[in-house]
Every structure is written in C-alpha cells, then in structure tokens.
C-alpha cells in the first residue's frame, strides 16, 4: 500500500534506502495490525452487556504489567534493529563521499538551480568553467561528486528518483554525491520553502549513457579545446 | 478567624514562591538558550570577543554594585521577617539604587561603545553583546520597578514579607545571570 | 494584589455582577476556560478556512476559490504559514491547554480557583491580543508572513527575500505575546497543582489528566526560553540590522533551526499530552474499570517529557548539520517511541474485560487512540535518518503530523468537549447531531489525509502552490482532488458540531451533577459549578481516581470524594 508509490529508483544507494523504508513499513504494518486488531477485538468483545460487570484489572502488579511491558521491549528491539540497519545506509549516502573525477557545483538561488562544471582542466574558477541554469548533466553508472550551496536563502536539493535530499545553505559548501544507473531525464525539485517562486522551482537531471556522455561533453567544450 | 487568615497568608507565600521558582526555571532556559548560542557561535569561529573595545573596569564596578544589591536585598527580607518596616524600606531603597546605578553605568558603557562605532550591527560579537546584556538590563529594570513598588507599598502599609522574598529570589536570579555574563563577555 | 486573590470566595453571591465583570474582566477559572474555548474555536474557523483555500488551490490550481478569491504562489505561502501558526498556537494550545487546564485543574484537585486568578485573566487577554495581532498581520501592506510556520531564516530574516515587511514582524510579535500568555498560564497551572490540592489528594491519586497538564506546562516553560531568545534575535535581524542568522554578516542560519526545534518537539507534546490525558479520563468511565497501569502511564509521561528535550535534531537530518549527529538523534528518537508505545498499550489494556459503552465521549477517545497509533507509526519512517532523506519535506510529513496533531486537537479535543460539556454548560450535548459529527469527522478526516501519505511517497514536496508543475506529481493529481473533496465533507461535519454546540446551550437537556457516573472530583460539584465550586466545605479525597467495578462494592463506582459514595446517581 505504501511501497508501490515510490517513484522508480535509479541510484545505487537508492536500493538501500528503499530497503530501509520497506523494513520500517513491514514492522509498522505488523504493529498497526496488532494494535488496531486488539483494539477492535476488545471494543467488540467487551462491549456492555446486561449482567456482565467489568473486571477490576488495575495492571499494578507485575503479573499484569508484563502484558504491556513485554511488547515495549519488543518495540525497543525492533527500533534498534531498524536503526542498526539504517546507520550504514546513512553513512554511505551522507558521510562517506566517494572519490570521483567528475565534480559539479550546484547552487540554489531564488528560484533556480545553478549548475557549474569545472571543464576539461578539472578546476573551478578557471576560464573553461561552464554554467547551466536548471540543467544537471551526469554520466550513467559512476559516482559524481557534488558541492551544494545557496546564494540567498535555504533551498533543498531533491532528486526523488535518486533518493537524495540535501538542504543547501548560503555561506556553506556541503559535499555530497550521486550516481544514476539508468539514462534518462529526472526531476530535481526544490524541497524547502524559499519564497514566492518556490512552487515550480525545479531543474532537470539528464543522465547520459556512457557513449552519449562523451559527445555531450565534446559538444559543450568544443570551443575550449581548440 | 485569625487562624484562617494566617493559613491564607502562608498559602499565599507558598504559592508566590512556587510560582517564582517555575518562572525562574523558564528564565534560566531563556538566558541558557541565548548564552549557549553565543558560546556555540564562538566555538564555531564567529563572534570573537572584541576585548580592546569593552570597558572591563566599568563592568567590574557594575558587578560589584549588583552583588552588593543582592546583599541589601537579603537584608531587606530579614527586616521584613522581623517586622522592621523602616529598615526594610531602607534596604529596599538601597537595592533600587544599586539597580539604577547598574543601569546608569551600563548606559554609559553602551554610549561609549556606540560612539566608537561598535553598534549592534557591527559584527556577530556585538550583536550578541547587546542582545545578552540588553536582555539582562531589561530584567534589572523590571527588578528595580518591582522593588520600588514594594518600597512604596510598605510605606502605605501594604507590605507582605513573602513578597519581598519573592522579589528577592528574582533579584538574585538577575544577579546570577550577570555572574555568568561578566566573565563570558568581558574576561574570556 | 489585594485580598480578593487569596481569600476563599464561598459566600460572594455573584448574580449581581454586571456584564463586564462576568465576561470581560472575569477571574473565575470556569469563565476563563470558556473564553479560551471560544477563542480556540473561533481561531479554528480561521485556520480551517485557510486550509480550505489551500486545499482548493492544490486540487484545482489557479482557479478562484469560492469565498476566498484567487490564490497565487505568494498567497499560498502566506496561507501555509498562518494556517500552521494558527492551528498550533491559537487553536490547539488554547483549547487543550488553556480551556481544559483552566476548567479542570481546580475542579479535579478540589480547589476553588487557580492560584492567581487575576494573572489567569491576564494570560487569556494576552492570548486574545496575540490572536488579534496575528489576524492584523493578514491585512497589513506587504502581506502576511510567508516563511512557513517554522520561519526559517534567512528567508524570514530579511524583507527582500519574501517581500513581506510588517506581516512577518507582526507574526513574530503575535508569537511573543502568545508565549508570554502561556508562560504565565503554565506558572499558574503548576502553582495551583503543587499548592492547592484537596486534603487527601496525594500525587498518587491525581487524575492522569492533571499529570499530563502538569507535564505539558513544564515542557512549555522549559522549552520556550530558547525560542524566545531566537525570536528576539530574528526580530533584531529584521529591525536593527544584526546578522545572527545571516551568513553574509557572519551569522548562522542553522542556529535558528536548533532553537526552533529545541522548542518544537516538546511543543508537540504540549499539544498531545492534554489530549492523551482527556482520553485517559474517558476510558475508565465508559469501560467501568480502572485505567491499566496508572503508575506506568505516569512514568511514561515523565520519561517521554524528558526525552523530548534531546530529540530535536531529528527535524534536521538533511538540514546541513554535521551528518555524524544524525545517528545519535535517530537513537534518542526511537527511544522516545517506547514510552508512547507503553501509553498506547496501557490504553488498549484499559479496555480489557471492560463493560464498554460506545457513548460519544468514548467514541472520540477511541478514535483518538486509533489515529494516534497511525500517526505514531508513520513517525518511525521520519525518525529513521536514511528513510528521512527521502521523506523529509514531502507530503508524507504533512500526512504524518496531521495524524498526530489532529488526533490530539480534533479527536482528543472533542473527547474532552463531549465529556465535560455537561459540567461546563450545565446541559447535555445533543447525541444525534453528535453521532453525525463523530462519524463524518472520522470518515472524512481519514479520506482527506490518508491518501496524502501516498502522494508524499510519490514525491510531492510540501509548501508548493501548484502540484501540476511537477512531472512526478501530476499523474497523481486525483489524490489532491480527492483529498480536497473529502475536506468539504469534513468541514460540513464541523458545521454540524457548531450547530449542536449552540443549540445544546439553550435547548439541551439540563445536566445532572454526574451524568456519566464518574468518580473524579469535578463530578461532585453541581453542573455548572457555582462560583467557588464547592459551596461551604472544600472536598476531601479518600481514594484513587479510577475505582470502578471494585469487587464487593455496592455500586460499580466509588467517588474520590470522601463521603460522596451515595451522591450523584444518574438522576
Ligand atoms: C482540519 C483540516 C486541516 C486541513 C485540511 C489541513 C491542511 C493543511 C495543508 C493543505 C497544509 C499545507 C501543506 C503544504 O502545502 O505544505 C497544512 C499544513 C500544516 N498544518 Fe494543517 N490542516 C488541517 C488541520 C490542522 C490542524 C488541526 C493542525 C494543528 C494543530 C494543523 C497543522 C499544520 C501545520 C503545522 C502545517 C505546516 C505549515 C507549514 O508548512 O508551515 N493543520 N495543513
Ligand atoms: Cu524552494
Ligand atoms: Cu520532533
């Protein structure tokens, strides 16, 4: 009921995130059925009937309290299980940024995403830098390093199909990374209220197949190469 | 009859004290939030203290004044408990004077700093400086007004000892906040 | 302060008091409770109207909203912001904390009034002033605040980013006044509970609602300080030109988020706990048996309250704070699910071997539990840092917090209103319209909000004015339409309530002192209780609050009040 609503995932770590979401879904679904089921059964089973008085159950003895305490222990165990499963995923996406020979800067401003490439020389702030508005191009199948920032207010860099989200702040450069397994175009909305143009602030992520990527790069920097 | 009145007076005293303690708990969090913001900002490299342009001497004198006024406040409560109304008014008056002196010196300090261009918007440190000490000064002002009111009320024969105690708890709190602010802002 | 505040007022006949004394300068806790209730309901109409305009815009973007007009993106941002602010600060808190607390604390602990009646009146009028300032902020030039109810800077710190000048400043001011009102109110509540309990009412015999109200007050008192500090800093950034939250002036935007959520998480419990407490009062009465695990619930409340101060950064997993902080906060967050799970389990267990009558207060209280379970479970998705990477800022969050907040405000709130209406107004609330109100609310609430989980998972982000601008969302637009149509049903259901509420004031069957055969003290006072509540003699308490179906007792309920065992039958 929940999981099938996720948009198609195309990133390598997206599978892990979906795995965590699925894990939580099944655990919470079980709890939902158990608690709501018990609630409904009790409501029906113990509804008022003439001549049947209520029991005087106060739950103040251990023998009774275990009925609620044991499920609590189970909650705790399952909680920790979810967190232990989640920790490496979090680290993979947010902490251990892998090396890559492609480094892109994405900067939010009211109300666009500014995307800059270092160009063939691989360093920013040189003459062969190239900047695109609301278009992010990457090659398929390999990690890409990002440096995320903002010019004015807080925006949020969100790639639903890659399961990535990162708020971007003015005055701060946040390292991040993405990869995409499947060529295609994907939506890149801003996920943080950033002013009157927030609604509709979005860019397009274009994932190029390997061969296609070289031609795209060549086309962009053809002038600079000569 | 007098027994019930007495019971009610102690009831009111208890309520007053319980209330001021809860209120101060919330105040601690207010200053705590502000001071931790300042400390974190300093640890993060912003808000470096501008030692050269702070008037440590005046601040030290002010610390002394505020501490003394806490002492006179304690005395005022002692007199109130003993029923020595005259002495109580005297000590309350001294406490008020101490508070006013503190505010006067603080105003002098502010003026000097602003004249040298160190306005609230002159950098993160100055922003914190004015906000923290300004909020504290506001509390001093409220304490001065409270103590002065009690002083006048005593003159009109309306005093209740526990009110002096409650005002005293507040005044000591204001004092303690300064004990934290002074080293943090001026000395470290 | 004069003697009036401290002397018992048993013998003051108040019939002669004029309109001004009775309604405007009222210091009686029951009148003030009604004032809070009416103000809260009034603001609920305002907040509901804003949500209607938003939902219409989301279903049929850029069409004229009937009764409102055209909603552009700028207006939408103002709607979102003020809807959240109104609902949390000017509906939930006034009704659940202000009204329930004022009405029930003195009545349940056997006092004649609050500890500081005039301070109490001041709190209410401050809140009224705050509401007025907020409403004024809608109409000032430049428009209303539009930086979200969370008011994140830099967006909120400089007028040029939103184009809003006075609107946002007044919005901040309204908050400040509201905080002052509930700060004074909280001090009053706590002082009353600590110092004015009837003889024999030990802490172990307090009704659970009192525990919840006390914890809620403490949470508010201890968490609001840092946000007040933050609000002062934000106001200075806007008006004086400081740069606390502006990076170009050396400031730090994330500082605000820390201060805001340090307050924000306890704040959601400030709203939740009184609703939980109201439901806890209702279950034993309509199941005719004691609450299961009184002590466990008290401990769960205290532990949850304490933990609520160390979970705040779960709102900030993807905010740009150091990512290594995420796992510690993820762990504190899951820890806090344990006391709430305990509360839920004890509530369910309280029904075990009961004799359950599904009268209206019970229906609302049970629905509270069901909705709260749902909202609590979806919270786990957001408390897990990796899954929050995806879900943060989407409609999944919107659905989640409406399940928790609405379970509290609407279901818990109505459980309390239906249960205590006879005591408050001296008449019974009509049951036919009541049934219609309950079932339509239950159905339409779920129809309005459940599908929003799906569209959130599908990738629809919050606080957008036009879902059709997004390729991922547009195919699911039917959900937005469906939700909005359901909302119209929800609104119609609330109209039934208002009708019932006002009709019953005049036409309702006169209420006996104890229509539900309940045990707690308030039901031994007349309905409505007179000024001073108890007549000449203050009540004394001789047992715990939930002594139902005690084996060997002559009747299936034993009142807390000493010597009242034979009184107050169902007449
Ligand atoms: C009764 C019907 C209600 C409806 C139809 C409704 C609808 C909405 C909608 C459409 C949004 C905007 C979502 C977005 O664009 O991001 C929203 C936001 C919000 N609502 Fe409600 N709401 C209702 C009741 C409540 C209640 C009772 C509360 C709280 C006690 C509440 C608290 C909030 C908050 C805090 C926000 C977030 C505002 C923000 O993003 O700044 N709502 N609601
Ligand atoms: Cu945006
Ligand atoms: Cu939280």
Average pLDDT over residues A56-70: 93
Residues of chain A contacting C453 with CB distance shorter than 8 Å: 2
Which atom of ligand 1 lies at the shortest distance from residue C465's CA? 15
In the predicted structure, residue C394 carries a pLDDT above the cut 80: yes
| Cβ-based neighbours of A102, under 8 Å, separated by 6 or more | A138, A139, A142, A144, A145
Cβ-defined contact of A24 to C352 (cutoff 8 Å): no
Confidence (pLDDT) at C320: 93
3-state secondary structure of C233: helix
In the predicted structure, residue A2 carries a pLDDT above the cut 80: yes
C47 token code pair = 């907040």
| Cβ-based neighbours of B145, under 8 Å, separated by 6 or more | none
Cα–Cα nearest to C371, from C406, C327, C413: C406
C188 in reach of chain B (CB within 8 A): yes
CATH number for domain B55-187, candidates 2.40.160.20, 3.30.379.10, 1.20.120.80, 1.20.1440.80: 1.20.120.80
C296 in reach of chain A (CB within 8 A): yes
Residue-wise pLDDT for C285-299, tens only, equals 999 999 999 999 999
C194 in reach of chain B (CB within 8 A): yes
The proportion of chain C whose per-residue pLDDT surpasses 90, expressed as a percent, equals 89
For residue C262, the ligand closest to its alpha carbon is 3
Q: Which residue of C has its CA nearest to B27?
A: C225
Contact residues, A window 112-151, toward C, CB-based 8 Å cutoff: none
C413 token code pair = 């709130």
3-state secondary structure of A135: strand
Buried/exposed B123-158: b ≥16 CB within 10 Å, e otherwise? bbbbbbbbbbbebbbebbeebbebbbebbebbeeee
Average pLDDT over residues B15-37: 95
The residue that leads in pLDDT, B45 or C451, is C451
Q: Tell me how many degrees the CA angle C472-C476-C479 measures, rounded to the nearest 5.
A: 140
pLDDT interval class at C3 (50, 70, 90):
very low
Confidence (pLDDT) at B4: 44
Confidence (pLDDT) at B11: 83
Residue-wise pLDDT for A187-221, tens only, equals 999 999 999 999 999 999 999 998 899 999 999 98
Q: Is the bond preceding residue C427 a cis peptide, omega within 30 degrees?
A: no
Average pLDDT over residues A1-21: 94
Confidence (pLDDT) at B12: 85
Residue-wise pLDDT for C66-105, tens only, equals 999 999 999 999 999 999 999 999 999 999 999 999 999 9
Look at the block and give the residue holding tokens 């008006």. C239
pLDDT interval class at C567 (50, 70, 90):
very low
Average pLDDT over residues B23-41: 94
- Answer yes or no: is the C-beta of C462 below 6 A from any ligand 1 atom: yes
Best of A13, A35, A60 to mutate (most C CBs within 10 Å, chain C): A35
3-state secondary structure of C144: strand
Which other chains touch chain A, taking contact as 3+ CB pairs less than 8 Å apart?
A: C
Confidence (pLDDT) at C10: 41
Average pLDDT over residues C120-149: 95
The proportion of chain C whose per-residue pLDDT surpasses 70, expressed as a percent, equals 95
Confidence (pLDDT) at C19: 67
Cβ-defined contact of C458 to A60 (cutoff 8 Å): no
Pocket test for ligand 1, best of C175, C402, C410 (most atoms within 8 A of CB): C402
Residues found in chain B: 188
Residues of chain B contacting C7 with CB distance shorter than 8 Å: 8
C544 in reach of chain B (CB within 8 A): no
In the predicted structure, residue B180 carries a pLDDT above the cut 80: yes
pLDDT interval class at A64 (50, 70, 90):
very high
Confidence (pLDDT) at B3: 41
Distances in whole angstroms, Cα of residue C197 to Cα of each of A130, C108, C469: 73, 9, 59
Average pLDDT over residues B61-81: 94
Residue-wise pLDDT for C413-468, tens only, equals 999 999 999 999 999 999 999 999 999 999 999 999 999 999 999 999 999 999 99
Cα–Cα nearest to A88, from A160, A20, A158, A7: A20
In the predicted structure, residue A225 carries a pLDDT above the cut 80: no
SS3 readout for A28-55: HHHHHHHHHHHHHHHHHHCECCCCCCCC
| Cα gap C25→B174, rounded to integer Å | 33
Torsion sign, CA atoms C373, C374, C377, C379: negative
| Cβ-based neighbours of B130, under 8 Å, separated by 6 or more | B110, B120, C242
In the predicted structure, residue B20 carries a pLDDT above the cut 80: yes
CB C243 within 8 A of CB B121: yes
For residue C400, the ligand closest to its alpha carbon is 1
Residues of chain A contacting C454 with CB distance shorter than 8 Å: 2, 5
Q: Tell me how many degrees the CA angle C410-C411-C414 measures, rounded to the nearest 5.
A: 75
pLDDT interval class at C18 (50, 70, 90):
low
Cβ-defined contact of A54 to C353 (cutoff 8 Å): yes
In the predicted structure, residue B181 carries a pLDDT above the cut 60: yes
Q: Tally A–C CB contacts below 8 A.
A: 288
Residue-wise pLDDT for C327-376, tens only, equals 999 999 989 999 999 999 999 999 999 999 999 999 999 999 999 999 99
| Cα gap C279→C534, rounded to integer Å | 25
Q: What is the mean pLDDT of chain C?
A: 93
SS3 readout for C75-122: HHHHHHHHHHHHHHHHHHHHHHHHHHHHHHHHHHHCCCCCCCHHHHHH
In the predicted structure, residue C571 carries a pLDDT above the cut 50: no
B103 token code pair = 């505010």
Average pLDDT over residues B71-93: 91
B41 in reach of chain C (CB within 8 A): yes
The interface predicted TM-score (ipTM) is: 0.96
pLDDT interval class at B9 (50, 70, 90):
low
Residue-wise pLDDT for A27-48, tens only, equals 999 999 999 999 999 999 999 9
A185 beta partners: A206
Confidence (pLDDT) at C7: 40
Confidence (pLDDT) at C340: 96
Best of C123, C226, C230, C237 to mutate (most B CBs within 10 Å, chain B): C226
Q: Which residue of B has its CA nearest to C260?
A: B33
| Cα gap C157→A154, rounded to integer Å | 12
Chains A and C touch (3+ CB pairs under 8 A): yes
| DSSP H or E run through C48 | helix C29-59
The top-scoring range by mean pLDDT among A48-57, B119-128, C471-480 is C471-480
User: What are the structural domain ranges in chain B?
Assistant: 55-187
Average pLDDT over residues C226-250: 93
C387 in reach of chain A (CB within 8 A): yes
Smallest Cβ–Cβ distance between C155 and the set A47, A154, A199 belongs to: A154
């Amino acid at each position: 009921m929940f999981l099938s609503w996720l948009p198609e995932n195309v990133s390598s770590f997206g599978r892990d995130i979906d795995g965590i979401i699925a894990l939580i879904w099944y655990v919470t679904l079980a709890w939902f059925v158990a608690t709501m089921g018990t609630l409904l059964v009790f409501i029906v089973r113990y509804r008022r009937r003439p001549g049947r008085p209520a029991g005087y159950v106060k739950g103040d003895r251990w023998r009774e309290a275990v009925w609620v305490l044991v499920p609590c222990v189970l909650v705790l165990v399952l909680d920790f299980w979810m967190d232990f499963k989640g920790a490496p995923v979090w680290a993979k996406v947010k902490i251990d940024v892998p090396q890559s020979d492609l480094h892109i800067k994405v900067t939010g401003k009211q109300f666009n995403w500014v995307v800059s490439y270092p160009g063939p020389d691989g360093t920013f702030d040189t003459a062969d830098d190239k900047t695109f508005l609301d278009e992010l191009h990457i090659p398929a199948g390999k990690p890409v390093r990002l440096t995320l920032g903002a010019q004015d207010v807080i925006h949020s860099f969100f790639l639903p199909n890659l399961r990535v989200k990162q708020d971007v702040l003015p005055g701060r450069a946040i390292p991040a990374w993405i990869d995409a397994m499947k060529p295609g175009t994907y939506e890149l909305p801003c996920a943080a209220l950033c002013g009157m143009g927030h609604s509709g602030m979005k860019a397009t992520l274009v994932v190029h197949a390997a061969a296609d990527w070289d031609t795209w790069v060549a086309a962009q920097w053809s002038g600079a190469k000569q | 009859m007098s027994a019930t009145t007495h019971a009610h007076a102690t009831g009111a005293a208890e309520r007053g004290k319980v209330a001021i303690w809860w209120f101060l708990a919330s105040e601690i969090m207010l200053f705590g939030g502000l001071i931790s913001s300042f400390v974190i900002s300093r640890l993060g490299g912003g808000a470096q203290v501008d030692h050269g342009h702070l008037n440590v001497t005046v601040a030290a004198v002010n610390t002394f004044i505020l501490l003394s006024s806490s002492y006179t406040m304690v005395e005022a409560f002692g007199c109130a408990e003993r029923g020595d109304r005259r002495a109580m008014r005297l000590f309350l008056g001294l406490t008020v004077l101490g508070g006013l002196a503190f505010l006067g010196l603080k105003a002098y300090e502010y003026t000097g700093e602003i004249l040298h261009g160190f306005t609230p918007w002159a950098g993160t440190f100055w922003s914190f400086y004015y906000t923290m000490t300004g909020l504290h000064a506001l509390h001093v002002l409220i304490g001065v007004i409270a103590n002065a009111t009690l002083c006048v009320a005593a003159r009109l024969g309306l005093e209740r000892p526990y009110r002096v105690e409650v005002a005293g708890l507040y005044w000591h709190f204001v004092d303690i906040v300064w004990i934290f602010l002074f080293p943090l802002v001026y000395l470290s | 302060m004069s003697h009036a505040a401290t002397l018992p007022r048993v013998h003051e006949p108040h019939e002669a008091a004029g309109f001004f004394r009775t309604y405007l300068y009222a210091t009686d806790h029951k009148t003030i409770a009604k004032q809070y209730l009416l103000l809260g309901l009034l603001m609920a109409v305002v907040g509901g109207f804003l949500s209607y305009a938003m939902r219409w815009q989301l279903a049929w973007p850029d069409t004229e909203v009937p009764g409102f007009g055209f909603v552009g993106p700028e207006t939408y941002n103002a709607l979102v912001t003020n809807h959240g602010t109104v609902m949390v600060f000017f509906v939930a808190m006034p009704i659940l904390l202000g009204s329930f607390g004022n009405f029930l604390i003195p009545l349940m602990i056997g006092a004649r009034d609050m500890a500081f009646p005039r301070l109490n009146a001041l709190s209410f009028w401050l809140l009224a002033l705050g509401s007025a300032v907020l409403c004024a902020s809608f109409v000032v030039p430049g428009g209303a605040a539009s930086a979200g109810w969370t008011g994140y800077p830099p967006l909120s710190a400089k007028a040029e980013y939103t184009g809003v000048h006075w609107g946002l400043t007044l919005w901040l001011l309204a908050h400040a006044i509201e905080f002052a009102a509930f700060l004074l109110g909280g001090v009053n509540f706590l002082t009353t509970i600590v110092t004015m309990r009837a003889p024999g009412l030990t802490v172990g015999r307090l009704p659970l609602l009192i525990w919840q109200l006390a914890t809620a007050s403490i949470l508010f008192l201890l968490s609001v300080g840092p946000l007040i500090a933050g609000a002062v800093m934000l106001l200075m950034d806007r008006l004086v030109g400081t740069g606390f939250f502006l990076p170009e002036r050396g400031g730090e935007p994330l500082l605000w988020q820390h201060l805001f959520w340090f307050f924000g998480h306890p704040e959601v419990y400030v709203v939740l706990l009184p609703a939980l407490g109201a439901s806890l009062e209702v279950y034993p009465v309509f199941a005719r048996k004691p609450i299961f695990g009184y002590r466990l619930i008290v401990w769960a409340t205290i532990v949850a309250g304490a933990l609520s101060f160390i979970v705040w950064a779960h709102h900030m997993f993807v905010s740009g704070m150091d990512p290594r902080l995420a796992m510690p906060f993820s762990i504190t967050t899951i820890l806090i699910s344990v006391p709430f799970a305990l509360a839920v389990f004890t509530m369910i267990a309280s029904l075990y071997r009961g004799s359950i009558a599904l009268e209206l207060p019970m229906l609302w209280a049970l629905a509270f539990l069901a909705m709260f379970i749902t909202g609590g479970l979806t919270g786990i998705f957001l408390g897990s840092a990796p899954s929050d990477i995806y879900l943060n800022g989407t409609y999944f969050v919107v659905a989640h917090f409406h399940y928790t907040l609405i379970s509290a405000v609407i279901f818990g709130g109505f459980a309390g209103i239906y249960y205590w209406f006879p005591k408050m107004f001296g008449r019974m609330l009509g049951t036919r319209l009541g049934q219609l109100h309950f079932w339509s609310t239950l159905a339409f609430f779920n129809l309005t909000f459940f599908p929003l989980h799906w569209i959130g998972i599908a990738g629809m982000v919050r606080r957008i004015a036009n879902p059709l601008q997004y390729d991922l969302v547009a195919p699911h637009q039917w959900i937005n339409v469906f939700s909005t149509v359901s909302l119209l049903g929800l609104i119609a259901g609330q109209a039934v309530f208002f009708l019932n509420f006002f009709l019953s004031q005049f036409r309702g069957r006169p209420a006996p002192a104890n229509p539900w055969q309940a045990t707690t003290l308030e039901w031994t006072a007349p309905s409505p209780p007179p000024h001073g509540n108890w007549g000449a003699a203050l009540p004394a308490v001789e047992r715990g609050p939930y002594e139902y179906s005690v084996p060997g007792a002559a009747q299936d309920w034993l009142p807390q009040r000493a010597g009242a065992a034979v009184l107050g039958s169902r007449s």
